[in-house]
Amino acid sequence: MITAFFMVLLIALGAGAVVNGVDPAWIALIATVCGGVGLKVVENWLGRSKVKIDDAAQIRDELRLQIAALREENAACEADRDKWRKEYYDLRDKMIGFEPKP
């Protein structure tokens, strides 16, 4: 990219004259190619941050889904625990002969 800048500068200073034995058309062609490559490099570099942001958003969405599934599983486990706890206390009360008052 810096090379392209210097080539364009040489063209401007030479005002169309031959610079160091190189035809200005070749200098312009090389400057255009270098500028295009430099632009693609910068575009790719800036595009990486967007990809990282998109990946982070996808990971957050997946985590939200996992959290919702885990909450449902936790609620089911708590309901199962409450059922077993009730059965345990009912059986304990029956074994010791305790009858709750209605």
User: 49-72: per-residue pLDDT in tens?
Assistant: 777 788 888 999 999 999 999 999
pLDDT class of 1 with cuts at 50, 70, 90: low
* H helices, E strands: number in the chain: 2, 0
Give the position of tokens 């936790």: 74
Backbone angles phi, psi at 35, to 5 degrees: -65, -40
Domain with 59, as residue range(s), is: 2-96
**Is 102 a member of any domain?**
no
**Structurally, how many domains does the chain consist of?**
1
pLDDT tier, 73 (very low <50, low <70, confident <90, very high otherwise): very high
In a domain, 36, yes or no: yes
- Is 6 domain-assigned? yes
| Domain assignment of residue 101, yes or no | no
Q: Is residue 67, in this structure, part of any structural domain at all?
A: yes
Question: 83 lies in a domain?
Answer: yes
Residue 58 lies in a domain: yes
Sheet strands (E) in 1-102: none
* Weakest-pLDDT range from 9-23, 37-51, 62-76: 9-23
- The predicted model scores a pTM of 0.46
Please tell me the distance from the alpha carbon of residue 31 to that of residue 100, in angstroms, as a whole number: 95
